[in-house]
A and B are shown apart, each in its own frame.
Chain A
């Protein structure tokens, strides 16, 4: 053990030179690489790539192979640019059982699938901190739903989908007392538990609901992936800290030679549920969804969840021993091989699904953990990839029989062959890759043309920007025998993981406007003739319309200090790419960006008398600068009547 640690340290210290001097990775010559990533003006990229924003709580949308940034989708973070999380319509999206949480740490984008292949309907992504899963609608590229995960300490191993979105699965990173209670942290072993959550997805509208949770031993659960093909009914979860330490995990959770991959038979779980083995548990969590008709989010508070206990459900879970703190768990396109990335392991262990079934049949167990059978490593292992670089984390597949694994410590991507387990190629990355992404690379049919390395460090790769440097994605050509780096592109936030899909699958369903006639927002103003200002006690409601290049009304009087002024702004446009903005001077809330046909409401509470300009913030037309108005704010005692024009 000590020896490995020493080696790792030595390698960390010298990794950059090591990588540059001794590895055989190839960079395409500049001209050839430039040709491969050049997307001529007016031409479209071949793929959409969705990169998680990590600590910025968003998703960014890039084109491949150009690496051009198209959009940042607000998911778990407020965005004052659009008013997401500030406007009355979107505030409910960020409600949780802990109150309003306008930020998070978003890690794993996951495309919805049909028959095990990304279908371009939805993108799911997790919030680690205040445990949530969001669904983004890929018609509008907007967040459509956010569901909170109860009984979870940290929603890291999430959201991974089964072959037809039967379930979005999620595991808790931190085990915690369930239900939460005031106990000594040192009582970890007796009081702390984990959960594995199965979220059902409505096949028609994507609505999410928690079908059940499985109560599991108090370990740290890290990542997951659903099975496919023969392993369709199963889901796999990595775990670390089988030592069940609660302090200085760096040392105390790195002691055991093997931790576990948990294999869960979700079809069997459904059977046990039908038999009534599930127990209802009181808890509180939120399900927030954006209603496409009213263009307004609603929060539903839910107060119970169904729990399955493996003790009541024999055969539901097995543990596959896996070397040294496994991180990623990835299932190959055939559904037979389950690849685990042992962070501290010197090999990549690959489990065989069919051998696992045989071992289960023969009860080839070496013991159990809290009643969950532990299978014999030698009986389930298909092979080990030797010399895969240090710190193997994540693996994706090209659909041609090869797997690609990131090695974090040695900053490289290692290509190896399924079945023979030989390393066939390796390429340095710049630097410290976490996840990697091949379009469809975790599905049944990868579009194995490109690979994106998602790197944590960019020292010396770009113009420096003070202490904080950008993070980076690298585009690698994987069509030939040798991997070739084509492009570096800086990313927004931490590009933790990414998913990519051929552009045409998404483009054909792209939404261009919201139909004004179908806008059922109760505060919509569908024609200028209904634009008006109404006082209700100390609330003033301004029903404002925006069109090129004016607001109606544009002069508003009779507002008093202390009033709550709600601007309900409807964008009357029905033309693609013509949003209007709305901002009022001194607003301590945010501006709005209102899409064609949409209504958004922002609350403004003026504190001082005066005349306040408001204006459009999105350059909408030749007379955009003229798109403005005034609000007169009188003293609280004044008797100025509401008037407008």
Chain B
């Protein structure tokens, strides 16, 4: 592999370390009573509010529709996700050192597979929170569930929920694109030779 491709791969790997510093996914809620917005930030290892007390307040609002409180400590994925991402980063470093193009394909594939599993898992959590509602809920709207959209926006009673990748998620996507670019460049250079 050419140096330029390896540099691109290094760059991609470094971008993935950004997952430790930025939220992967953002869920923002808008309602008339929340002109300033209220939102969730999903990180590799934690779920926080957009602002210091947003998580508490979202849980308070959710209790009216019988949704279970979001307790980050009880979500096992948040415990082992950091190790998986650390593994990806180490794998990336290995690929750069070993200079094998096949390994690059393997690396990209592993990221994509993990990302798809992650999204599916995220979807399932959303489904679980949105559908398993307490039968004792003060507000029950026939046929209504409260699953946030996987991506995009959706009106849930008075709340407009907007779900989009956070900076971490965008960095991961870009890393994959850059890695693909690295392969393409590498191939072209070979052909050129």
Contact = CB atoms under 8 A, between A and B. Distances in A.
A623 B138 CA distance: 9
Interface residues of A, number: 9
B112 to A, nearest CB: 40
A622 B139 CA distance: 10
A202 interface: no
Contacts of B155: none
A623 B63 CA distance: 12
A378 B54 CA distance: 68
B64 A513 contact: no
A548 to B, nearest CB: 6
B61 to A, nearest CB: 8
A622 B60 CA distance: 13
Nearest to A513: B53
Contacts of B60: 547-548, 573, 575
B56 A574 contact: yes
Contacts of A573: 60
Interface in B105-142: 138-139
B3 interface: no
B64 A574 contact: no
Interface in A527-583: 547-549, 573-575
A119 to B, nearest CB: 26
B138 A575 contact: no
Interface residues of B, number: 7
A574 B57 contact: yes
A575 B53 contact: yes
A549 B60 CA distance: 10
A385 to B, nearest CB: 50
B8 to A, nearest CB: 44
Nearest to B34: A575
Interface string B54-91: 00110010001000000000000000000000000000
Contacts of B138: 549, 622-623
A574 B56 CA distance: 7
A573 B60 CA distance: 9
B51 to A, nearest CB: 10
B32 to A, nearest CB: 12
A547 B60 CA distance: 9
Contacts of A575: 53, 56-57, 60
Nearest to A573: B60
A545 to B, nearest CB: 13
B140 to A, nearest CB: 13
Contacts of B64: 622-623
B99 to A, nearest CB: 52
B30 to A, nearest CB: 15
Nearest to B33: A577
A623 B65 CA distance: 12
A575 B49 CA distance: 12
Nearest to A597: B53
A513 B54 CA distance: 13
A325 to B, nearest CB: 54
Contacts of A622: 64, 138-139
Interface string B36-57: 0000000000000000010011
A613 to B, nearest CB: 20
Contacts of B57: 574-575
A164 to B, nearest CB: 33
Interface of B: 53, 56-57, 60, 64, 138-139
17 contacts: A513-B53, A547-B60, A548-B60, A549-B138, A573-B60, A574-B53, A574-B56, A574-B57, A575-B53, A575-B56, A575-B57, A575-B60, A622-B64, A622-B138, A622-B139, A623-B64, A623-B138
- Would you list the 10 A-B pairs with minimal beta carbon distance, nearest first? A574-B53, A575-B57, A574-B56, A623-B138, A548-B60, A575-B53, A574-B57, A547-B60, A513-B53, A575-B60
